[in-house]
Structure 1
Amino acid sequence: MNLKSVMATFVLGTSLVSGGAISHAEVSADAEVKEAPQFIKKNFDVKNVVSENAVKEFFKANEKEFNLKVNKDLKLVKSETDDLGMTHYVYERVIQNVPVANSKVVVHTDQRGNVTAVNGEFHKEAPNKVRQLKEFNKNQAVDYAWDHIDVDREEADKVQESEIGEDFHTLTENSDLVVYHEDGEYTLAYHVELQFSQPYPANWQLYINAETGEVLKSANVVHEATGTGTGVLGDTKSLNTYAYNNTYYLFDTSKPMNGVIETFDNYGGQYSSLPGYYVTDSGNTFYSERQKAAVDAHYYAGEVFDYFYDTFGRVSYDNQGADIRSTVHYGNDYNNAAWTGNQMIYGDGDGSKFTYLSGADDIVAHELTHAVTDTTAELIYENQSGALNESFSDVFGYFVDSEDWLLGEDVYTPGVAGDALRSLSNPNAYDQPDHMNEYQNLPNTEQGDWGGVHINSGIPNKAAYYTINSLGMAQSEQIYYRALTVYLTPSSDFASAKSALEQSAQDLYGSSAANAVTQAWNNVGLY
């Protein structure tokens, strides 16, 4: 298999908790092959749920409803009270204190302590106990992961010292013990994450059997997209820059964040050390042809930061003020852009299919929304959850660039007017379904677009189009942000997304808005 080819493409078209050792478990024959996420909304009898202990009592009183024992099957991760006064208690689903991979259970309460909804991945048929056996540690699991992807770790971890005294590591590694689940079976595994920018953009997610070392699943889930300065389209932009030793850098410290927005040029091409070299100018006027892609990457990264901060109070993609780093001129005629898990990479295009990909603000917004999703809902990049991952990025791309319903039109086929990569208003025009009766059941493989993440996203995109037309952009963007950051969980499918958006609309604007969301999804065949 060509390992580079498993990157999810925009054009075609994520630290765990360690615990006790567990091995493969036998599950009864009537267990669900893949449990669908649930969204339970009803009048629960328990009142005054205003603390962690009160939530425990709630679970005890409703044990038959959820088939969960709160002290054994759940572990509180956090509780947050939002601007509406609602509190959300987020739990990990655990087996013998080891978290089940890609699973959350969330209890939502109102200001009076009433439980308004409970949603997530309950795993009601998961085994209560499994035999404990672990043959190697998490550091060894990382070694297995490197062997599997066949990449030289030293090459991926090159360190570059910048002109202003900062060192840049291009590698991030994480390894933690989880319970991996697939086809009704639960197996102790190490979840290994390898993120790097060279020798190719990568955000590898691997699950390695903790007893045998077998790689149970692996995928490179890079979300690809496919002073003053002059941008790609010839427009002049004001830029926030940084002066040092009579040189100006595309280095923005003006945002209300802990980090910075910084932009680099990958002068050496695809295989040179990333992030590359700072884009500089002696006169603080970035007007050269070489600088155009960097001007747009820098400016639009700031625009997307401003959008999320001004609209939702979110401080960078992780809400913790993380650096937003971009590298332009990546590769040779590279017809894509990528969020690698720690930075953006933009190709120049081949001049025919694409021009400089940083020249489209909706593409920049699309990719940075993937980063927001990675730090909130953590939607698994496959099948319906993956299509939702893509769709939410498309929708927020529209919110940032709402002049039309098209995505990527500013840089796609520069010699052809009026076309684009996708359309929210007319997915069929770009070979996407816009109704469930056109849903494509594709295999969860590279050739199958990981279950159609870039294809079936047309259905939720069309639901968003109906929602925005009904409620307007101001209400719709708040509803979509709340659904993404409060209600969606890793395995959410289209039905879960409908419920999450309905509940978000109800929370924010009442029943009429919720009814509009319901109708929007009814229009695309989700009843």
Structure 2
Amino acid sequence: MNWKSVMATFVLGTSIVAGGTTVSADVSADLDQGKEASQFIKKNFDVKNVVSNKAVDKFLKANESTLNLKVNKDLKLVKTETDELGMTHYVYNRVIQNVPVANSKVVVHTDKKGNVAAVNGEFHSDAPDKVRQQKAFNKHQAVDYAWDHIDVDREDADKVQKSELGEDFNTLTENSDLVVYNEDGEYTLAYHVELQFAQPYPANWQVYINAETGDVLKASNVVHEATGTGTGVLGDTKSLNTYAYNNTYYLFDTTKPMNGVIETFDNYGGQYSSLPGYYVTDSGNTFYSERQKAAVDAHYYAGEVFDYYYDTFNRVSYDNNGSDIRSTVHYGSNYNNAAWTGNQMIYGDGDGSTFTYLSGADDIVAHELTHAVTDTTAGLIYENQSGALNESFSDVFGYFVDSEDWLMGEDVYTPGVSGDALRSLSNPNAYNQPDHMNEYQNLPNTEAGDWGGVHINSGIPNKAAYYTINSLGISKAQQIYYRALTVYLTPSSNFQSAKAALQQSAQDLYGSSAKSAVTQAWSNVGL
């Protein structure tokens, strides 16, 4: 292999002033292709009784000069969360003139005694105090500009379907917010527009539009896609939670402790035209036909993944608010993929050669629903190293759900060929992925470049996870990874930040020996 490592990292020492005393701090950051580095500052800060929003503000104010942040000008508190360990996490938006900087947050973590354990996030220390505030149009007009840019007829994405239960379904979601957009150190007032839909193609468009000129600063369709491996739907018999209505049984699960339901649809009508489609039904509550097999697996595995997150972490659905988990099978024609579109799952049937029914692999379902968890927690940007982490965490939790082997998607990839897979956590090189930083691939941040190698370079953190799991076991490793994803990682987190987040999570949960195991795992891959 002739892959070239291009990642420039640095770990530097600085000092943090806490309560009038200067203490040494470790600052981890990464030069990740011009993006704002996520910093992770950890030390035994000489400050006590930080047990309220007011006390955290006082702590931050005492450290303004060294953090290069002013609490009353640069930070806006958005939420405070206390976890099962008794630690409290104060989450701030990084703002300029009270407008949030896109894909940025700063988090202060305190233990149950009121000591500050760590501060991390996107500090934007070199950001200006002001940006031009001229707005030539409003956020609703920005949505129209975004539709024009992606060249999709809104009506095609906004078709309402009526289910056999009499409910209306609409797959379209639109959001628009004013933000400060940062690219290579240039800060611009912009609208962040999100367009999520499943027809005429699966999309989760993230569009940034200059608020003064209307120019599109960036537009990316960040639908998370994964392909699987194996022999397809295996013919095993599963117990299903269904719903009876008017002498008909539906793949509609109301048994989970959630506000919504788990529901499964069939995309009758072929190419993209009827999403979410129609409920999969049976008059005898026996879903045995060939066409029903993909739906049976999609429905069953969605429930399995829900149970995993609920039983292991007490998480209620992907957003921890009990939202519906919706799946559509038989998507498209010979569609060799599965995807989380931002509001539902879609599964292709495969072409019968490269893939068979993609819903037939529980690690694929877990991978995609973990993208949904990531979207509602760390928000890892889907490009470069943060995007590779986004993919890696989905692979890792795919493994936690299906821990029989280290392979990803082996059940539906190349039907008729045994023993192969799409990826491997234990041996990324076997599937053309790097497993060490000296093999890191510097790819362009384009669709052709895999958005900076999000699926390629994920082999490196995947191998670190393999070492961690082998050292600590699944039980501890999954708690460490979940805590890092939901507590410490932030949108621009890179590999060095992920290492720090996992170290801190290990220390929080299991102490110094677990932290040492995480440190060694990442050292093994060159970090």
Larger mean Cα displacement after TM superposition, 116-125 or 161-170: 161-170
CA distance in 1, matches of 2:112, 2:197: 44
Question: Which amino acid is the alignment partner of residue 350 of structure 1?
Answer: D
Q: CA deviation at 1:447?
A: 1.1
CA distance in 1, matches of 2:519, 2:32: 28
CA distance in 2, matches of 1:314, 1:284: 30
CA distance in 1, matches of 2:47, 2:238: 56
Is residue 469 of structure 1 aligned with residue 470 of structure 2? yes
Q: Is the 8 A contact 1:224 1:339 kept in 2?
A: yes
| Identical counterparts, % of pairs | 88
Partner of 1:365: 366
Q: CA deviation at 1:129?
A: 1.6
Question: Which amino acid is the alignment partner of residue 402 of structure 2?
Answer: D
Q: Does the residue aligned with 1:379 lie in a helix, a strand or coil? A: coil
CA distance in 1, matches of 2:485, 2:283: 43
1:112-151 superposed matches below 5 A: 112-151=113-152
CA distance in 1, matches of 2:457, 2:58: 41
Q: CA deviation at 1:418?
A: 0.3
Question: Which amino acid is the alignment partner of residue 283 of structure 2?
Answer: S
1:111-260 superposed matches below 5 A: 111-226=112-227, 232-260=233-261
Q: CA deviation at 1:222?
A: 0.3
CA distance in 2, matches of 1:221, 1:130: 28
Q: Is the 8 A contact 1:297 1:326 kept in 2?
A: yes
1:61-100 superposed matches below 5 A: 61-100=62-101
Q: CA deviation at 1:225?
A: 1.2
Is residue 53 of structure 1 aligned with residue 54 of structure 2? yes
Partner of 1:448: 449
Q: CA deviation at 1:35?
A: 2.8
What TM-score do the two structures reach when normalised by structure 1? 0.92
Q: Is the 8 A contact 2:100 2:179 kept in 1?
A: yes
Q: How many residues align structurally?
A: 492
Q: Is the 8 A contact 2:407 2:421 kept in 1?
A: yes
Partner of 2:26: none
Q: Does the residue aligned with 2:396 lie in a helix, a strand or coil? A: helix
CA distance in 2, matches of 1:198, 1:111: 48
Q: CA deviation at 1:130?
A: 2.5
Partner of 2:300: 299
Q: Does the residue aligned with 1:354 lie in a helix, a strand or coil? A: coil
Partner of 2:266: 265
Q: Is the 8 A contact 1:206 1:217 kept in 2?
A: yes
Question: Which amino acid is the alignment partner of residue 482 of structure 1?
Answer: R
CA distance in 1, matches of 2:497, 2:364: 26
Q: Does the residue aligned with 1:322 lie in a helix, a strand or coil? A: coil
CA distance in 2, matches of 1:348, 1:311: 31
Partner of 2:25: none
1:309-320 superposed matches below 5 A: 309-320=310-321
Q: CA deviation at 1:132?
A: 2.0
Q: Is the 8 A contact 1:46 1:61 kept in 2?
A: no
Larger mean Cα displacement after TM superposition, 161-170 or 324-333: 161-170
Q: Does the residue aligned with 1:274 lie in a helix, a strand or coil? A: coil
For each residue in 1:13-72, what CA deviation from the matched residue of structure 2 results, as whole angstroms up to 9, or x when unmatched?
xxxxxxxxxxxxxxxxxx998331100012223221100000110011111121111011
Partner of 1:4: none
CA distance in 2, matches of 1:384, 1:436: 12
Q: Does the residue aligned with 1:285 lie in a helix, a strand or coil? A: coil
CA distance in 2, matches of 1:127, 1:165: 54
Question: Which amino acid is the alignment partner of residue 233 of structure 1?
Answer: L
Q: Is the 8 A contact 1:32 1:184 kept in 2?
A: no
Q: Is the 8 A contact 2:222 2:382 kept in 1?
A: yes
Question: Which amino acid is the alignment partner of residue 202 of structure 1?
Answer: A
**Tell me, which stretches of 5 or more residues in structure 1 are unaligned?**
1-30
Q: CA deviation at 1:166?
A: 1.1
Q: Is the 8 A contact 2:435 2:525 kept in 1?
A: yes
Question: Which amino acid is the alignment partner of residue 143 of structure 2?
Answer: V
Question: Which amino acid is the alignment partner of residue 405 of structure 1?
Answer: W
CA distance in 2, matches of 1:145, 1:243: 42
CA distance in 2, matches of 1:294, 1:326: 8
Is residue 433 of structure 1 aligned with residue 438 of structure 2? no
Q: Is the 8 A contact 1:32 1:183 kept in 2?
A: no
Q: Is the 8 A contact 2:386 2:493 kept in 1?
A: yes
Partner of 1:13: none
CA distance in 2, matches of 1:62, 1:46: 11
Q: Is the 8 A contact 1:270 1:331 kept in 2?
A: yes
CA distance in 2, matches of 1:232, 1:337: 15
CA distance in 1, matches of 2:327, 2:132: 47
CA distance in 1, matches of 2:302, 2:61: 47
For each residue in 1:454-480, what CA deviation from the matched residue of structure 2 results, as whole angstroms up to 9, or x when unmatched?
000000000000000000000000000
Q: CA deviation at 1:271?
A: 2.6
CA distance in 2, matches of 1:132, 1:417: 60
CA distance in 2, matches of 1:204, 1:349: 24
Q: Is the 8 A contact 2:233 2:360 kept in 1?
A: yes
Question: Which amino acid is the alignment partner of residue 264 of structure 1?
Answer: F
Question: Which amino acid is the alignment partner of residue 204 of structure 1?
Answer: W
Q: CA deviation at 1:307?
A: 0.2
CA distance in 1, matches of 2:56, 2:337: 46
CA distance in 1, matches of 2:272, 2:88: 47
Q: Does the residue aligned with 1:59 lie in a helix, a strand or coil? A: helix
What TM-score do the two structures reach when normalised by structure 2? 0.92
CA distance in 2, matches of 1:130, 1:424: 44
Question: Which amino acid is the alignment partner of residue 379 of structure 1?
Answer: L
- Label 1:505 to 1:277 Cα distance change in 2 as closer, same or farther (>3 A): same
CA distance in 1, matches of 2:32, 2:463: 30
For each residue in 1:132-157, what CA deviation from the matched residue of structure 2 results, as whole angstroms up to 9, or x when unmatched?
21100001000000000000101100
Partner of 2:387: 386
Q: CA deviation at 1:451?
A: 0.5
Q: Is the 8 A contact 1:32 1:125 kept in 2?
A: no
Q: CA deviation at 1:273?
A: 1.9
CA distance in 2, matches of 1:101, 1:131: 16
Partner of 1:5: none
Q: CA deviation at 1:450?
A: 0.5
1:1-20 superposed matches below 5 A: none
CA distance in 1, matches of 2:284, 2:40: 57
